[in-house]
Each structure stands twice: as structure tokens, then as C-alpha cells.
Amino acid sequence: MIFLVSISHYCFSQETNTKSALMLQKVLKQLGLKRTDIHEPLVTEKVLPNIKSNTVLVIPKYRKSETDEYSNHYYEFDAYVVIVNSLTGKILAQYIEENAWTSDAVAITGIIVDTGLFQLNSDTRAFGVRVSYANSSQPNPFNQTDLYLFIHKNNKLQKVLDKFITNQFGGEWDTRCAGEFDDMNSVIDIAKTGNRGMNNLVVKSTSVHTKNVAVKEDCLEKKTTTHKTKVLKFNGLEYK
């Protein structure tokens, strides 16, 4: 039974990957791009749960691609965010931003489409794009996730939230014990009140400051937690 399930899962995954590749090929042709123009490892797609006939694709297009003698990569990407017909791959709306993302010592580790319940008013539901970054430093670790929100209106894609940091971790330590770290995580709730026809966004953030001190053979840890709430309002173009 386990063997049969595994084979079935493999076939399903293979079929899904084939469909995704065909979809990407159709979209690139409409955009006038070649596969060599884009960074495929970061391409992502997701069907919109509220409109299953529509699929969102996020495509990072190379603006600059360099590699040094130590095989370290430096990228600058133009962002292509498109909504397509889930069956035909026809582009229904698109958003293009030049030089949107940079990946270097703090590298982009992933891009995902967030289809959470961002119901901005009775007939407008946004979707999110989350871009995650991290470095590879052991004594100075760092990672961060940025959230962008988009709405599909009048056959156009409009970015209504730009590069909002939802998660951030960083610090410095001696790689044994002594050091300090800051860890911030935020969640977004939709308020019942609003501005310019769109509901406000209530951002609830929790920050934890950790300090470690070596005392003889022990490593003593002290944590301080703070909570903050911030309201973002729509100004007619975006949330601020």
C-alpha cells in the first residue's frame, strides 16, 4: 500500500511539474522573455482560492547577474507579477517593477504567493507576495521576510502594500554563548474600520530581545518581550 501511494504521489508531482513548466513557457512567450532571462529557482505560482480560474505567477527577471572568483552570486531582479487563466495561461493582468529585488550577501532564499484572507473591502481581496532573505554568517546571523500586497482591479494589478517587514531576526555572538539577538514577528488583521473605501490593516508585532552571558561553565539567557500595534491606512494608492 505504501509503495502504491508513493508511486501515485510521484506521478502527481511529475504531472504538476509538467503543467507548471508549460504554463511558465506560455507566460514567458507573452511577456517576450526567454527562460535564460529569468531566475527559475525563485519562480513561484499559486491558484487563487477565491477565483480558481486564476493563477498568480511571480517571475524574477535578471537585471544584473554576477559571480565573483569565490563563486559568490550577486543578482538584481525586475519583478514580474502576473495573473493568468489557470487553463490557458493567457495573461489577464500584470505588474512589472524594475530593480525590485537585490540578492547578494543577504540572499533571497524564497518567494511565495500568500493567498491569506486579505479582504480589504466587501468585494476586494488582495493576495500577498512574500520575499525571504538570509545571510550565511554564523557570528552575525540575519534573516527577514518582506510582504507585498496586490489587488486585481479593472484588468490591472495594483500594489497596495510595499515591502512591509513581517519577520526579522538578527544578532551578534561569539559562536559559543555570549551575544545578543533580536527577533520580531508580525501578524496582520483586517480592521472593521477603514479609509478611502478600504479596511485598515492592524499590525500586531512581538519582539524578543535575547542576551546570553557566559558565567563560568554556564550560559545564562535573559529574554525581554515587547508588543506593539500599528494601524496602516489606505491613502487612495497604497497602505501607509
Q: What is the pLDDT of residues 223-239, one digit of tens each?
A: 999 999 999 999 999 99
Is 116 inside any structural domain?
Answer: yes
Question: How many domains are there within the chain?
Answer: 1
Is 23 inside any structural domain?
Answer: yes
Contacts of 232 (CB under 8 A, 6+ apart): 161, 164, 200, 201, 202, 203, 239, 240
At position 117, the amino acid (one-letter code) is L
Is 102 inside any structural domain?
Answer: yes
Q: What whole-number distance in Å separates Cα of residue 221 and Cα of residue 211? A: 6
Residue range(s) defining the domain that contains residue 96: 2-170
Q: What whole-number distance in Å separates Cα of residue 89 and Cα of residue 28? A: 10
Output the pLDDT for position 15.
58
Is 153 inside any structural domain?
Answer: yes
Is 35 inside any structural domain?
Answer: yes
pTM metric for this prediction? 0.92
pLDDT band at 16 (very low <50, low <70, confident <90, very high): low
Contacts of 214 (CB under 8 A, 6+ apart): 176, 177, 178, 220
Is 33 inside any structural domain?
Answer: yes
The whole-number average pLDDT for the span 10-27 is 75
Q: For residue 2, what is its C-alpha cell?
A: 505504501
Is 150 inside any structural domain?
Answer: yes
Q: What is the mean pLDDT of the chain?
A: 94
Is 20 inside any structural domain?
Answer: yes
Q: What whole-number distance in Å separates Cα of residue 47 and Cα of residue 28? A: 18
